[in-house]
């Protein structure tokens, strides 16, 4: 009876679909825009220590931030982790974040968390100019990130325009210098810079001598140096300092969704990322800067307090305006 | 991704009498209903694009679309398609002629090697080239790697057609005084119009839809730009309207192909069976050059990807084969691919039956809509489904159902083509007899025709299975939280420049694709009756 075959085939397909998409056995769902390897390591250690199971959905900052805003009160997410603050601010402004436990907020200095108390920094990274040592002598380095829009830099540098990292840097620029200057800089960038798929690709291309330099975050270099050094042997990092937009320090955030039905577990996870173990895992493997008070950063890094970063409120960094301006400049 | 990838499929003719001898009775109502339901689902992405356009209104459409960036992307896409498609046709037709019609030494081996690049997914071709030559980027790289990845889509149908051509016409031309090269140009090539156009269309649609390959060689097309925007702003008017433009480009390609087909006659006249064409004897110098050409294509299209992959695998050693991490990914991929293959084949059944046995405009419209929807890129289908489920069908959002629905929409044409051919071969009289012996129409259909169509169903299902194992964009966007497939894992490692750890996943995708590529190759030769 072939009719039965249809029923069986349908049932088999349904069974396979269930097998192919594992049911969430987890206690909390993390929407993760942080590096997958870091969050995986965090989850493993966290589950081992607390018994709370977690699963994650991988995406980029603003993709997941916008997803949460669209999902609204029915979001399946309990925790949101970002690499930069604009996406976190986006979700916070939509009124979708719960207040972080006071004990957790107390672990982090005020400059690394939202004034609203609804999200907290979990790590920090600084903007750098990575350059090829053979192609750019130290005295020819740009004094400011803004110089990279000059005609002298045409075709010589690269960035990962479409990544949330770079867009956070643009958000800082917008906050510091205003709309007109930012638009002008973006137009210069459109003319001068090559778009690559990610910060790692930018450093690799600069290392290979394809470009003189590129805008990235510091830890791509530090990670490569800590491993084989193969992908960074021809490059060095230039820190703009002087409160330059190019000295921007970006705060990675952790937040708990107001709609989460697992508030306790979700709060526990965010707090745990700031514990000694949590910060250690992050500083050792990801080499981002520690943000919990008293937690040491990796000794190979240039100390955060010597970088003369511009003073900015991470909760104020815009995302919608930035993507609008980058769309207008034809960068994305 | 979402295209009709059936090398040779367009060239396998239905038995000439099939349509005329089909039963003239009306299609059973339930079957028509099932076909309409499937077609409705297939039209979802098109409907979505229209709905968005109406929602955001004319002036906003103009602001989003009339800007330099869109012009830049149009130019990029036009250059890519207009360079890579003719180049693929040139490579595909040259290789087909050399392997089928000349005394090229080792032609059987070369013809297998010309089909083999299909087993390597396009983004793995890209990965291999970019990691072997880190500075190989831009338009030239995009054109070259896509030609190497896609030319078999022209090679397979053209080689099959060449084997079937009646050499009598060529003999007549030669007897009238044409030299061999003139015969080739004026008699043989014009008869290859349909397989060339079919292959070219498949390649063109692939190029509009491909994301991974062009992201790796740093060449912006509409698809990569839509994906970039999706990552920055999720489902926003800008990305959705660009998807609308991409849909128009796909429709334009489909129309170009239809209008270029012409109304010529390609079936042979004359009685008896055609003689086998004699192989042209190449002069020694030309023979040497021909061997160099096929060797160069094999090295570039197979040697480079396989050598690069082997190098990464060797660098990684046993360490990268972390089975605890790999096996769940492999298991999930196989399960999703099998579920997708079964569902797609089941969904294709009613449409395939109607398109063979049915009559009238309604049936033709149903069939055409299914082919058009299947030509849409994965990114468009994914954007449509994610937006629809998040806004109006929340219980289906981020579920296995939605990602499987995307697979059905994307790959139904593959199952359809395979099923059509074998349903056409099942005599309708048997179904009538079954009914006259008391079977209900449904049981007559399932117990007679569907049983006879089983080989076609299996071939179609295998093709869909393969397509799902290498699908990237729709899976990334739609799959439930926690789902990892070979393609998505490979992609996430590649973007983090973890080339060594990505290698096992590329290897497994190729290993899964190889048997099916062999079947396709075999089929295209069998279709030629040998």
- Supply the DSSP string of B316-384, one letter for each residue: HGGGG--HHHHHHHHHHHHHHHHHHHHHHHHHHHHHHHHHHH--HHHHHHHHHHHHHHHTS-HHHHHHH
- The pLDDT assigned to B238 comes to 78
Q: Which of B338, B400, B446 sits opposite A6 (nearest CB)?
A: B446
- Which of A13, A19, A20, A26 to mutate against chain B (most B CBs within 10 Å)? A20
In this prediction, residue B5 carries a pLDDT of 41
Structural domain boundaries enclosing B303: 45-261+286-526
What pLDDT does residue B15 have? 41
Q: Categorize the per-residue pLDDT at A85 as very low, low, confident or very high, splitting at 50, 70 and 90.
A: very high
Q: How far is CA A189 from CA A156, A170, A222, B448, in A?
A: 11, 11, 26, 66
- Check CB contact under 8 Å for A204 and B404: no
In a domain, A199, yes or no: yes
Task: Please tell me whether residue B103 adopts helix, strand or coil conformation.
Answer: coil
Q: How far apart are CA A111 and CA A120, in angstroms?
A: 10
Judgement on whether residues A197 and A324 belong to the same structural domain of the protein: yes
d(CA A63, CA A297): 29
> Which segments of A90-164 are extended strands (E)?
119-132, 157-159
Spatial contact of A88 and A192, defined as CB atoms under 8 Å apart: no
CA separation, residue B64 to residues A66, A144, A171, B462 (Å): 19, 33, 22, 41
Q: Do A37 and A111 have their domain in common?
A: yes
Q: Are residues A87 and A175 in the same domain?
A: no
**Inter-chain touch A204–B483, beta carbons under 8 Å:** no
Tell me the three state secondary structure of residue A32: strand
Domains held by chain A: number = 2
- Asked, for residue A308, whether it belongs to a domain, the answer is no
Residue A2 falls inside a structural domain: no
pLDDT score of A288: 95
Are A164 and A244 within one domain? yes
- Are A16 and B339 in contact (CB < 8 Å)? yes
pTM, full prediction: 0.87
- Residue B522 has what pLDDT? 84
Cα separation of B465 and B415, whole Å?
Answer: 10
The nearest alpha carbon in chain B to A10 belongs to B343
Q: Are B105 and B287 in contact (CB under 8 A)?
A: yes
Dig out the tokens for B441 from the structure. 């129409």
Question: Are A96 and A68 spatial neighbours (Cβ–Cβ below 8 Å)?
Answer: yes
Whether residues A267 and A226 share a domain: the answer is: no
Query: To the nearest whole angstrom, how far is the Cα of A200 from the nearest Cα of chain B?
Result: 6
Establish if A12 belongs to a structural domain.
no
Flag whether B277 is in a domain. no
CA atoms lying within 13 Å on the CB side of residue A51: 0
SS3 B217: coil
B11 in a structural domain: no
Cβ contact, residue pair B497, A21, below 8 Å: no
- Indicate if the pLDDT at residue A22 is higher than 70: no
Chain B 214-233, CB below 8 Å of chain A: which residues?
Answer: 215-216, 218, 220, 225, 228-233
Same domain, A324 and A202: yes
Q: Judged by CB atoms within 8 Å, which residues 2-21 of A form the interface with B?
A: 2-3, 5-6, 9-10, 12-14, 16-21
Domain assignment present for residue A313? The answer is no
Tokens of residue B266, six digits: 């390609």
Token readout for B412 is: 């139904």
Number of A to B CB contacts under 8 A, please give it.
Answer: 153
Q: Is the minimum CB–CB distance between B17 and chain A shorter than 8 Å?
A: no
A310 lies in some domain: no
CATH number assigned to the domain comprising residue B95: 1.10.3720.10
pLDDT exceeds 50 at position A277? yes
Read off the pLDDT of each residue in A18-45 and give the average, rounded to a whole number: 86
Query: How does A286-296 read in b/e, with b if 16+ C-beta sit within 10 Å?
Result: bbbbbbbeebe
Helix (H) / strand (E) element for B72: namely helix B68-101
The pLDDT > 90 percentage for chain A reads 75
Contact with chain B for residue A191, Cβ under 8 A: no
CA distance B517 to B114: 11
SS3 per-residue string spanning B399-430: CHHHHHHHHHHHHHHHHHHHHHHHHHHCCHHH
DSSP letter for A311, please.
Answer: P
* Cβ contact B401:B483 at 8 Å: no
Number of domains composing chain B? 1
- Of B255, B200, B252, whose CA–CA distance to B222 is shortest? B252
Q: Do A230 and A147 belong together in one domain?
A: yes
Q: What is the CATH number of the domain that holds A293?
A: 3.40.190.10
A111 and A253 housed in the same domain:
yes
- DSSP letter at A101? P
A160 & A275 share domain: no
pLDDT < 50 stretches in chain B: 1-24, 528-530
**Quick one: A168 and A271 in the same domain?**
no
Indicate whether B53 belongs to any domain: yes
Q: How many Cβ atoms sit within 10 Å of the Cβ of residue A137?
A: 9
Q: Does A40 touch chain B (CB under 8 A)?
A: no
Do A163 and A185 lie in one domain? The reply is yes
Give chain B positions within 8 Å (CB) of A70: 234-235, 390-391
Whether residue A9 is contained in a domain is answered as no
A5 in a structural domain: no
Rounded mean pLDDT, A175-203: 94
More confident residue, B160 or A23: B160
Per-residue pLDDT band for A14 (boundaries 50, 70, 90) equals confident
Range of the domain at A67: 25-123+249-302
Cβ-contact B223, B379 below 8 angstroms: yes
| pLDDT, tens only, A143-168 | 999 999 999 999 999 999 888 899 99
| Strand-pair partners of A57 | A31
Q: Is residue B460 part of a domain?
A: yes
State the nearest Cα–Cα gap between B526 and chain A, in angstroms: 29
DSSP-derived secondary structure letter, A140: G
Do A256 and A243 have their domain in common? no
pLDDT of residue B27: 65
Residue A235, SS3 per DSSP: strand
Measured CA to CA in angstroms, residue A270 lies from A28, A39, A41, A79, A332 at distances of 11, 12, 14, 8, 32
Cα(B529)–Cα(A80) distance, rounded to whole angstroms? 60
């Amino acid at each position: 009876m072939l009719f039965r075959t249809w029923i069986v085939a349908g049932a088999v397909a349904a069974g396979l679909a269930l097998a192919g998409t594992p049911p969430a056995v987890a206690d909390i769902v993390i929407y993760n825009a942080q590096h997958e390897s870091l969050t995986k390591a965090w989850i493993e250690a966290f589950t081992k220590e607390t018994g709370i199971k977690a699963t994650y959905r991988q995406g980029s900052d603003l993709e997941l931030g916008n997803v949460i805003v669209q999902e609204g009160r029915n979001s399946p997410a309990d925790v949101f982790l970002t690499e930069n603050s604009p996406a976190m601010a986006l979700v916070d402004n939509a009124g979708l974040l719960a207040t972080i436990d006071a004990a957790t907020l107390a672990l982090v200095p005020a400059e690394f968390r939202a004034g609203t108390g609804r999200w907290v920094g979990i790590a920090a990274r600084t903007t750098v100019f990575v350059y090829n040592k053979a192609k750019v002598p130290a005295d020819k380095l740009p004094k400011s990130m803004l110089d990279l829009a000059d005609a002298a830099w045409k075709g010589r540098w690269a960035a990962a325009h479409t990544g949330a990292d770079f867009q956070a840097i643009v958000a800082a620029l917008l906050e510091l210098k205003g709309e007109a200057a930012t638009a002008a800089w973006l137009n210069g960038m459109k003319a001068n810079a090559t778009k690559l798929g990610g910060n790692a690709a930018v450093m690799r291309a600069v290392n290979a001598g394809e470009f003189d330099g590129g805008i990235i975050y510091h830890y791509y270099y530090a990670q490569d140096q800590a491993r084989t050094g193969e992908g960074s042997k021809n490059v060095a990092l230039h820190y703009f300092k002087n409160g330059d937009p190019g000295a921007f320090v970006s705060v990675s955030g952790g937040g708990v969704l107001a709609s989460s039905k697992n508030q306790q577990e979700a709060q526990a996870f965010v707090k745990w990322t700031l514990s000694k173990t949590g910060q250690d895992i992050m500083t050792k493997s990801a080499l981002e800067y520690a943000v919990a008070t008293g937690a040491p950063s990796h000794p190979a890094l240039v100390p955060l307090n010597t970088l003369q970063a511009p003073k900015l409120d991470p909760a104020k960094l815009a995302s919608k305006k930035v993507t609008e301006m980058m769309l207008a400049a034809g960068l994305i | 991704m979402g295209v009709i990838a059936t090398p040779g499929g367009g060239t396998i003719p239905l038995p000439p009498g099939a349509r005329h001898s089909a039963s003239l009775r009306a299609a059973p109502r339930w079957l028509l209903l099932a076909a309409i339901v499937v077609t409705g689902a297939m039209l979802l992405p098109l409907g979505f694009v229209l709905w968005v356009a109406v929602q955001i209104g004319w002036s906003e459409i103009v602001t989003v679309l009339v800007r330099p960036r869109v012009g830049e992307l149009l130019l990029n896409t036009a250059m890519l398609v207009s360079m890579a498609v003719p180049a693929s046709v040139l490579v595909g037709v040259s290789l087909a002629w050399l392997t089928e019609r000349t005394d090229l030494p080792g032609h059987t081996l070369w013809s297998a090697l010309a089909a083999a690049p299909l087993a390597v997914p396009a983004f793995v071709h890209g990965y291999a080239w970019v990691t072997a030559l880190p500075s190989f980027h831009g338009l030239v790289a995009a054109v070259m790697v896509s030609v190497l990845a896609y030319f078999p889509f022209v090679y397979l149908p053209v080689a099959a057609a060449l084997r079937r051509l009646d050499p009598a016409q060529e003999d007549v031309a030669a007897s009238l005084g044409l030299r061999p090269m003139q015969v080739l140009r004026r008699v043989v090539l014009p008869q290859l119009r349909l397989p060339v156009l079919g292959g070219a269309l498949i390649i063109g649609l692939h190029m509009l839809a491909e994301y991974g390959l062009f992201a790796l060689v740093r060449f912006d097309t509409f698809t990569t730009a839509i994906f970039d925007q999706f990552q920055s702003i999720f489902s926003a008017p800008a990305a959705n309207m660009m998807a609308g433009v991409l849909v128009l480009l796909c429709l334009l390609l489909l129309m170009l192909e239809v209008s270029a087909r012409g109304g010529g006659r390609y079936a042979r006249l004359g009685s008896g069976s055609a003689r086998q064409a004699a192989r042209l004897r190449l002069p020694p110098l030309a023979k040497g050059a021909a061997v160099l050409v096929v060797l160069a294509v094999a090295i570039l299209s197979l040697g480079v990807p396989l050598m690069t992959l082997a190098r990464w695998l060797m660098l990684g050693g046993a360490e990268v084969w972390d089975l605890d991490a790999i096996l769940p990914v492999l298991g999930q991929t196989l399960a999703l691919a099998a579920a997708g293959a079964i569902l797609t084949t089941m969904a294709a059944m009613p449409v395939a039956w109607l398109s063979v046995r049915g009559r009238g405009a309604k049936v033709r419209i149903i069939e055409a809509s299914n082919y058009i929807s299947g030509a849409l890129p994965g990114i468009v289908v994914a954007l449509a489904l994610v937006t629809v489920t998040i806004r109006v069908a929340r219980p289906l959002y981020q579920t296995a159902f939605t990602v499987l629905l995307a697979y059905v929409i994307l790959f139904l044409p593959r199952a359809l083509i395979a099923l059509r051919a074998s349903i056409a071969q099942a005599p309708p009289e048997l179904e009538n007899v079954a009914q006259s012996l008391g079977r209900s129409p449904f049981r007559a259909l399932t117990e007679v025709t569907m049983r006879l169509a089983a080989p076609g169903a299996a071939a179609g299902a295998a093709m869909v299975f393969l397509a799902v194992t290498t699908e990237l964009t729709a899976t990334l966007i739609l799959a439930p939280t926690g789902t990892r497939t070979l393609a998505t894992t490979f992609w996430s490692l590649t973007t983090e420049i973890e080339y060594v750890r990505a290698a096992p996943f590329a290897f497994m995708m190729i290993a899964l694709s190889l048997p099916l590529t062999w079947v396709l190759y075999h089929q295209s030769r069998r279709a030629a009756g040998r």
